[in-house]
């Protein structure tokens, strides 16, 4: 397999848009599509080729990245009269960057193989700022040949590419990683509440956590950013900033719990975190990290 110069990217959200923008380079003709046309127009202004439909993009590209919200959106992009499966050429590599259930990912890969495509899981972690910097981590599930075919495209926005194993391994790794990340967010919020109740400075708690590695970069950015907004924001304003992230986190945890159930594994902590995570993102009740003056 080889990677052609025409590369497609579907889904221009917080991570998808900067990732797609990094494909605008001498090595590739970046074709982009999103239902939100201003995102497409922004990348077209930067040098990308805007597509008016999934079919138009799929028919032009031998490598297609998909970075949309959930299983249902991936399903809709792959199937149907306008879908990738209907319009892509034989041998096209389809990289699913979305966080989805492993069961659906494996089903899509089987369907793709029957049609002569290569569908792999290549979820990403690192956040929007790392997408802008080109320092994301990709977790790839697929054959060595598929990894080698996709890696040059991934490298435009990657600091690290991990071959997790065969198909389905990449999304399994992503679900485990997200579980750990969201658990950290919940624990940090509640430990800060305890520190404040004991008369300790939350800044001191963070400083110690950063020094010994208990608090990582993403935890620190999340906690400081969220609490700064929460000082003055209304519930509606908090929802505009953090609501979608909280709902996405709950969706990701639902995917982890569903995949665990398929494996006969029970995740009681994940279920607890799933039911708390939106409140943590929204800084509601005991999940809020208090101000020093409170």
Taking only the tens place, the pLDDT of each residue in 184-202 is 999 988 888 898 889 998 8
* CA end-to-end distance (rounded Å), the chain: 61
State the pairing for strand pair 136-141/124-125. antiparallel
* Band (277; pLDDT cuts 50, 70, 90): very high
Q: Return the pLDDT at 2.
A: 42
Of residues 17, 62, 160, 174, which has the active-site annotation?
A: 174
pLDDT at 293 over 60: no
- CA torsion 71-72-73-78 (nearest 10°) is 90
The distance from CA 142 to its chain's CA centroid, rounded to whole angstroms, is: 18
pLDDT at 80 over 50: yes
CA angle 88, 91, 93 (to 5 degrees): 75
Please indicate whether residue 17 is annotated as part of the active site: no
Q: Return the pLDDT at 292.
A: 46
Mean pLDDT of 162-175: 98
Pair 66, 97: CB distance under 8 Å: yes
pLDDT, tens digit (0-9, with 9 covering 90-100), for 200-246: 988 898 899 999 999 888 888 888 888 889 889 999 999 999 999 99
pLDDT at 285 over 50: yes
Residues of the chain with CATH 3.40.50.720: 6-166
Q: Return the pLDDT at 189.
A: 87
For 293, the token pair is 């003056």
Across the chain, what does the average pLDDT equal? 93
Per CATH, which fold does 173-287 belong to?
1.10.1040
pLDDT at 289 over 90: no
Contacts of 42 (CB under 8 A, 6+ apart): 17
pLDDT at 157 over 90: yes
- List the alpha helices (DSSP H) in 46-143: 54-60, 71-78, 84-87, 102-115, 128-133
Q: Return the pLDDT at 288.
A: 65
Residues of the chain with CATH 1.10.1040.10: 173-287
- Superfamily of the domain at 6-166: NAD(P)-binding Rossmann-like Domain (3.40.50.720)
């Amino acid at each position: 397999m080889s990677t052609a110069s025409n590369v497609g990217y579907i889904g221009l959200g917080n991570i998808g848009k900067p990732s797609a923008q990094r494909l605008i380079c001498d090595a590739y003709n970046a074709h982009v599509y999103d239902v939100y046309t201003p995102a497409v127009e922004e990348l077209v202004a930067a040098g990308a080729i805007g597509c008016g439909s999934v079919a138009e993009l799929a028919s032009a590209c031998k490598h297609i990245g998909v970075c949309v919200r959930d299983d249902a959106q991936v399903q809709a992009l792959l199937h149907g009269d306008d879908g990738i499966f209907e319009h892509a050429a034989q041998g096209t590599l389809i990289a699913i960057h979305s966080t989805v259930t492993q069961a659906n990912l494996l089903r899509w890969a089987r369907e793709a193989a029957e049609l002569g495509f290569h569908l792999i899981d290549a979820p990403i972690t690192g956040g929007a700022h790392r997408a802008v910097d080109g320092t994301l981590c990709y977790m790839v599930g697929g054959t060595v040949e598929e990894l080698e075919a996709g890696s040059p495209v991934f490298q435009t926005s990657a600091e690290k590419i991990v071959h997790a194993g065969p198909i389905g391994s990449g999304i399994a790794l992503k679900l485990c990683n997200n579980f750990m990340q969201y658990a950290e967010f919940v624990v940090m919020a509640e430990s800060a509440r305890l520190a404040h109740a004991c008369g300790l400075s939350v800044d001191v708690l963070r400083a110690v956590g950063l020094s010994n590695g208990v608090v990582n970069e993403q935890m620190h950015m999340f906690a400081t950013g969220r609490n700064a907004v929460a000082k003055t924001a209304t519930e509606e304003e908090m929802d505009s900033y953090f609501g979608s992230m909280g709902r996405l986190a709950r969706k990701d945890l639902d995917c982890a719990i569903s995949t665990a159930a398929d494996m006969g594994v029970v995740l009681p902590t994940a279920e607890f975190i799933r039911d708390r995570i939106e409140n943590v993102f929204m800084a509601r009740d005991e999940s809020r990290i208090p101000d020093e003056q409170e």
